[in-house]
Amino acid sequence: MPHDDHDHPHALLPPEPALRVKALETILTRKGLIDPAALDEIIDTYQNKIGPQNGARVVAKAWSDPAFKAALLEDATPVVADLGYYGRQGEHMVVVENTPAQHNMVVCTLCSCYPWPLLGIPPGWYKSDAYRARAVREPRKVLAEFGVTLPEGTSVRVWDSTAEIRYLVLPMRPEGTDGMSEDELASLVTRDSMIGTGFPRVAS
């Protein structure tokens, strides 16, 4: 296979991106290589079924159940699979816990690796050049752009997802949430708090 084909085949498709996608979909459909109904199904899955609500359930359960949390931090993959969260881009899960001493934050500098079964498709900013370039070198300046400031005594550990291991941040349980049910707790868990660029919502 040629490594660097300077006559890239993609240049034969229309340059405008929406038309480029449409053209390729049409060609593949005509040849019986893709089923447009399968595309609808894939889109529906990631638009409506799989998203940060899954990760929020895991976090809420970890906040509520010490044995679950211990197992989650020990070996997350089978633990989240038991809750039904397994699949593409979530085959090898590691959960990392925020503490007063250490804040965790996840990036993929080389592409856009992200734990799909727990968080869905990554937001645009996670895939942006600015986040990929800066998160490893100046995480605190990046966090400030998300409105997050850490105490001076808290160190930052940035996880660059360079392999097939996918990381989920377990944020600290907010104050004033004693006695809340898992459902109530899950509603406080934001997507960004599980990437490490935000905190959970404050209990109202």
Partner 1 sequence: MTRVHDMGGRFGDGPINPEAEDAPVFAEDWHARALAVTLASGFLGQWNIDVSRHARERLSPKDYTRFSYYEKWISGLADLLVENGVLTHEDLRGGGNDEPHPLAEKMLKAEAVSAALAKGGPADRPSNVAVRYSIGKEVVTTRPAANRLVDGGHTRLPIYASGAKGRILRLHGTHVLPDSNAHGLGEAPEPIYAVAFPASELWVSPEHPDDEVVLDLWQSYLEPT
Name which of residues 158 to 187 contact partner 1 (CB under 8 A). Answer: 158-165
Return all residues near 96 (Cβ < 8 A) that are at least 6 apart: 104, 157, 159, 167, 168, 169, 170
Amino acid in position 42:
I
Q: Has 181 been annotated as catalytic?
A: no
Which of the residues 12 through 41 are near partner 1 (CB under 8 A)? 12-13, 17-18, 20-25, 27-28, 30-35, 37-41
Nearest Cα to Cα of residue 131 among 141, 115, 123, 142: 142
> Cβ of residue 179: shortest distance to partner 1, in angstroms?
25
Please say if 187 is a catalytic residue. Answer: no
Alpha carbons 12 and 6: distance in angstroms, whole number:
13
Rounded distance, CA 6 to CA 19, Å? 22
108 is catalytic: yes
User: How many residues are given for the chain?
Assistant: 204
- What residues have CB less than 8 Å from 185, skipping those under 6 apart? 59, 60, 63, 64, 173, 177
Contact 101, 94 (CB under 8 A): no
119-138 positions binding partner 1, by CB under 8 A: 120-121, 123-125, 127-134, 136-138
Among 65, 82, 87, 100, binds partner 1 (CB under 8 A): 87
Select the residue interacting with partner 1 from 64, 86, 97, 177 (CB under 8 A): 86
Q: Is 88 in the site for partner 1 (CB under 8 A)?
A: yes
Contact flag: residue 204 with partner 1 (CB under 8 A): no
Residue 63 interacts with partner 1 (CB under 8 A): yes or no? no
Q: With CB under 8 A as the rule, give the number of residues binding partner 1.
A: 90
Write out the binding residues for partner 1, residues 40-59 only, by CB under 8 A: 40-43, 45-47, 51-52
Catalytic residue numbers, as ranges: 108, 111-113
